[in-house]
Structure 1
Amino acid sequence: MKLKKLFLILTALVAFSSTLTAVSDYEYLLGKYKTLKERLPAEKEEKRRIAEEEWLAAHPEEKTRREAEMYAQLFDAYLVTIPGKNYLMMKTEVTQKQWQTVMENNPSKFKGDDLPVEEVSWINAVEFCNALSEKQNLEKCYSNGHWAYYDKKKNKDVTEEDYNKDQKKKYSKRQVIKYYAIDCNFNANGYRLPTVDEWQYAAKGGQEFKYSGSGNLDEVGWYGGNSGGKAHPVAQKKPNGYGLYDMSGNVWEWCWDSSSNNCSLRCNCGGSWHSIAISCEVGDRYWYDADNTYDSLGFRIVRSSSKK
């Protein structure tokens, strides 16, 4: 009604003008009307948003309740209890929507809310777990994260100065390596990365298939033979026996474990959209430095549970 009244007023005003032709009058009024019609709803929505933000600021308990409900829908609803074990696992790889809700950015190459987040390092994944735990008022699993230096020949930690000296040696065999040290409380109720054992047990799904959920990789996973050279939305293929998706293919998944031969390397499992089939087998694994990122590497998360 307000727009119609405004249109009539503009029409009456222009009627008194002798400088405009009938055609230009109509085009002028039509343009003004369309502009107002588009602008007013947006202004109304902006006022509503600001009013709601002000109200929530004055009622922090309601803001907390709404945030808890949102995170429950985005994460808790996707947790699957692993039979016979004391942990729950996300049924999908962490998606870009989930990542962006927590971290407020999106590092992925292949963009899409339902695509798995990638281009995230092991350190990034750990930071995500702690941030999500904090937002849900859960006890954080990870603490004391820092870069450290290890002398393989002396079999002990050394200083950063020793590391820099070793790197400068002309014929250095890199006796001193840099690695990311961090503590994990596996009894905390917050989110964390699965161990390799946890990941592989869950990937089997109580079944004895080569891949997670089937002996036919095309049924359960996106890999080099069917992906078209890109990541795909999660949960499009058949799940395994525990209801977990994409544990073979789509993106490699970071796990907690470090290499026994090189503590700077962290494990990842499952294969990816560009992997050959053998890399997507449940028992296969690979290793990258904790700060490496790739467009074929993401993760899924777990939470410890008191139930077995």
Structure 2
Amino acid sequence: MAPTLRRTPRTGRGYIEPLLEVLNALPLHMVLVPGGTFMMGSSEDEPDYEDFDGPQHQVEVQPFFMSRYPITQAQWEVVTTLKTVEHTLDSAPSEFKGENRPVEQVSWYEAVEFCNRLENLTKRPYRLPSEAEWEYACRAGTTTLFYFGGTITHEVANFEGKETTPVDHFGIANAFGLSDMHGNVFEWCQDHWHENYNGAPNDGSAWLSDDESSSRTRRGGSWNYPPRNCRSAYRLYSFPELRDDLIGFRVVCSAPRPLQ
């Protein structure tokens, strides 16, 4: 079955971050993700199911803003010029250069540093998404393998490729107005890694442990991974200090409210 596409990019409700100026590059567009309830993970009869993906469970998520695209290299470079919170940042870490390509080769700690610097600049609560928020936002009300249906093609996502693509390359978005959720780069989430969802919170919050050196969760697949690893429910992990050209991130902002 062919993918269901929305070729006209959806903007959704949200805002353009006014305090992050990136000249002619893509601005930081924050999309309002409405709250709701969904079934997180995969059922055992879903194609390409893995034990990591289950058990499927109901989660209630509160509204939040999420960046329409993964953080770009232009956005990253601007934030690296801001005052250090805990970690120094390389202004140009990415393997595949391009101002509107996703930043990669950044560790989980460096992604958190980006959020902290952005929060200090804007006085808005920027952070990494919880794993539940990420999957809820990716699905956008769908229950299929991908937000555009049960199949994925090279016309709608970057997978099994040779390098990253600009985050707006495909010109499509899901029902919430989010783009580039499948493939291109994996995206760091707040959560510490757990082997399955037994005991996971059902309120959309990040699932943390007492071990700060624990691996962190990443979602979404990547430019050189196969389709099965780009599914909405697929999850993987890496050590938080890892830098890799497969991994980037996007940001969320809590407590939706009008800009001051």
Give the deviation of 1:192 after TM superposition.
0.2
Matched residue SS, 1:257: strand
Task: Indicate the residue corresponding to 2:33 in structure 1.
Answer: 82
259 and 120 in structure 1: CA distance in 2 versus 1, 3 angstrom threshold: same
1:249 aligns with 2:215: no
Paired position in structure 1 for 2:217: 267
Distance in 2 (CA, whole Å) between partners of 1:222 and 1:199 is 19
Q: Deviations over 1:80-114 (max 9, x none)?
A: 00022321000000000000011141100000001
Residue 108 (structure 2) pairs with residue 116 (structure 1): no
Judging by fraction of residues, say which structure has more helix.
Answer: 1
Per-residue deviation at 1:133?
A: 1.1
Deviations 1:119-176 (Å, cap 9, x if unpaired)? 000000000000111122x1xxxxxxxxxxxxxxxxxxxxxxxxxxxxxxxxxxxxxx
Larger RCO of the pair (alpha carbons < 8 Å, separation 6+):
2
Matched residue SS, 1:68 = coil
1:100 corresponds, among 63, 74, 77, to 77
Hey, what does 2:19 align to over in structure 1?
68
2:164 equivalent to 1:231: yes
State the AA in 1 paired with 2:19. A
Report whether the alignment pairs 1:215 with 2:150. Answer: yes
Q: Distance in 2 between matches of 1:295 and 1:116?
A: 10
Q: Which residues of structure 1 form unaligned runs of 5+?
A: 1-66, 139-188
2:4 paired residue number: none
**Matching of residue 125 in structure 1 with residue 111 in structure 2:** yes
Q: TM-score, normalised by structure 2?
A: 0.67
Match of 1:196 in 2: 131
For residues 190 and 25 of structure 2, the distance between their equivalents in structure 1, rounded to whole angstroms, comes to 23
Shift of the 77–106 alpha-carbon distance from structure 1 to 2, 3 Å rule, reads closer
How many Å separate the matches in 1 of 2:23 and 2:109?
Answer: 24
> Measured at CA, do residues 205 and 284 of structure 1 come closer, stay the same or move farther in structure 2, by a change above 3 Å?
same
Following superposition, the deviation at residue 236 of structure 1 comes to: 1.8
Q: 1:76 Cα deviation (Å)?
A: 7.5
Distance 1:284 1:306 in 2: 28
Question: Runs of 4+ in structure 1 displaced over 4 angstroms?
Answer: 71-77
Paired residue type of 2:244 = Y
Give me the whole-angstrom Cα distance separating, in 2, the residues matched to 1:75 and 1:89: 15
CA distance in 2 between counterparts of 1:130 and 1:241 reads 29
Cα pair 1:220 1:239 within 8 Å, conserved: no
The residue that corresponds to 1:148 in the other structure is none
* TM-score, length basis structure 1: 0.57
Contact 1:212–1:220, Cα closer than 8 Å, also in 2 = no
Residue type of the alignment partner of 2:166 = P
Give a deviation string over 1:238-286, Cα, whole Å, max 9, x none.
Answer: 2111111111100000000002368410000000000111100000011
SS of residue in 1 equivalent to 2:21: helix
Counterpart-to-counterpart distance in 2, 1:76 and 1:110: 20
Partner of 2:141: 206
Deviation of 1:116 after TM superposition, in Å, equals 0.1
Equivalent residue pairs, number: 187
CA contact (8 A) 1:251 1:271 kept: yes
The structural deviation recorded for 1:215 is: 2.8
Report the 3-state secondary structure (helix = DSSP H, G, I; strand = E; otherwise coil) of the residue aligned with 1:109: coil
- What is the percent sequence identity of the aligned residues? 36
How far apart, in 2, do the equivalents of 1:103 and 1:75 lie?
17
CA displacement, residues 2-26 of structure 1 (integer Å, 9 cap, x when unaligned):
xxxxxxxxxxxxxxxxxxxxxxxxx
Partner of 1:249: helix, strand, or coil?
Answer: coil
1:220 match: secondary structure: coil
Residue 270 of structure 1 contacts residue 285 of structure 1 at CA under 8 Å; is this kept in 2?
yes
Match of 1:142 in 2: none
Structure 2: segments with no counterpart, 5+ residues? 1-17, 36-61, 82-90, 196-208
Instruction: Return the letter of the residue paired with 2:29.
Output: Y
Backbone CA RMSD of aligned residues: 2.3
